Amino acid sequence: MTVPVDTVLINNAFDHQAIRSQFPILDQQLDDNPLCYLDTAATSQKPVCVIEAMTDYYQHDNANVHRAAHQLSARATASYEHVRNQVKQFINASRTEEVIFTHGTTESINMVAAGLSKQLKANDIILVDSAAHHANLVPWQQLAKNTGAVIKPIPLNEHLSIDINAYSALLSLKPKLVAISHVTNALGSVNDVSQLVELAQQVGALTLVDGAQAIAHIDVDVQQINCDFYVFSGHKMYGPTGVGILYGRYAELDKLEPLLTGGEMIKSVSFDATTFGELPNKLEAGTPAISAVIGLGAAISFINGLPKAELLAHEQSLLSYLQDELRNLGDITLIGATAHNIGVVAFNLAQEHHQDVGILLDQQGIAVRCGHHCAMPLMQQLNIKGCCRASIGLYTNKQDIDLFITALGNVKELLL
């Protein structure tokens, strides 16, 4: 969707500045420059309500969950379980037990990969999105190493999202598992995950969708996508670091071998044998990141209170404005940029090294990410060592883009 930036920002039906002002970190100078934060895909900034919810928990309710008879523990447990219900509703899971708190997307995928170790065998095929973040590749490589399974990358089309024809051809190999990105972190390209999941199911494959870059920008409905597993991190959706979600279809989640064992996940323990408890506890061994879970709950309430359609239109109009301004600047190679991409623009300046560009931007107060973006196989396919990535969030405004383009123009003058 492309909406002219001025249409949204001038005729806005909502007060964008009021939303932006909820993020106190953005109101600061770096040396003499205003901070221009264009690294939301790495981690989003946090609104006041998230910061306050975590402080409030530590000031009033701090106790371990699920353990004690006392009131503080009861309050902490109630808040913690309330967030599980919030997440269930946020992604439209059918049961709260299908929502597992982890420490982030990386841990969630590792839990699935380790959990499937008894279900895969030698020569079973795992299809992996070839634009995947390393978090959605390396755990499958470990699983393959441990079981003798074989990984096959799913080729990309000219827009650098999954090539449906190549994918369909690979499905004829009857893979056991398909692991795909909803939105790619390096490029912001979007996959039609409902269609990809449906095709995978026709050949009986399990499906995992990495939603780390989608969850803050798209309404995610796991029942509509119909995947077996959907994973994401709190810190990319205006929540704190240290908490993530593993959603799993109950029957498949229940079959996973627990990656972590110990306290809280058991039914009974003796020196001879242990029996595991039920979901979700079975997959939440040890003390969880309670304050981070509570912060995630505050982030969900915050997002739910925003005018979602307007914000999405705002983000999409900013992204196309950003793409256009980069094209107008000249000597810029945009990588995989389409009108449908979400949140991210990847680019290089002529033949200049991305790190040099990033450092010179930083000196002007602009925060972007430069490197391989944890997607080295994608960089190899593109035949580049890395690139710069500017990424936006719901607080980004037109002034951020203008500051960035002016600063990049200065970098261009200096280097070319």
Choice from 130, 147, 207, 213 touching ligand PLP (CB under 6 A) = 213
Subset of 369-388 contacting ligand PLP (CB under 6 A): none
> Counting contacts by CB under 6 A, is residue 133 touching ligand PLP?
yes
> Counting contacts by CB under 6 A, is residue 45 touching ligand PLP?
no
> Counting contacts by CB under 6 A, is residue 130 touching ligand PLP?
no
List the one residue out of 169, 125, 132 whose CA is nearest residue 151. 125
> Counting contacts by CB under 6 A, is residue 106 touching ligand PLP?
yes
> Counting contacts by CB under 6 A, is residue 337 touching ligand PLP?
no
Q: Which stretch binds ligand PLP (CB under 6 A): 208-216, 257-265, 282-290, 387-395?
A: 208-216
> Counting contacts by CB under 6 A, is residue 217 touching ligand PLP?
no
Closer of 109 and 407 to ligand PLP (Cβ) = 109
Closer of 103 and 159 to ligand PLP (Cβ) = 103
> Counting contacts by CB under 6 A, is residue 16 touching ligand PLP?
no
Choice from 83, 98, 104, 175 touching ligand PLP (CB under 6 A) = 104
Whether 374 is a known active-site residue: answer yes
Subset of 233-292 contacting ligand PLP (CB under 6 A): 233
Q: Which stretch binds ligand PLP (CB under 6 A): 119-127, 146-154, 209-217, 402-410?
A: 209-217
Size of the site for ligand PLP (CB under 6 A): 12
Subset of 173-202 contacting ligand PLP (CB under 6 A): 181, 185
Q: Which residues are at the interface with ligand PLP (CB under 6 A)? A: 104-106, 133, 135-136, 181, 185, 210, 212-213, 233
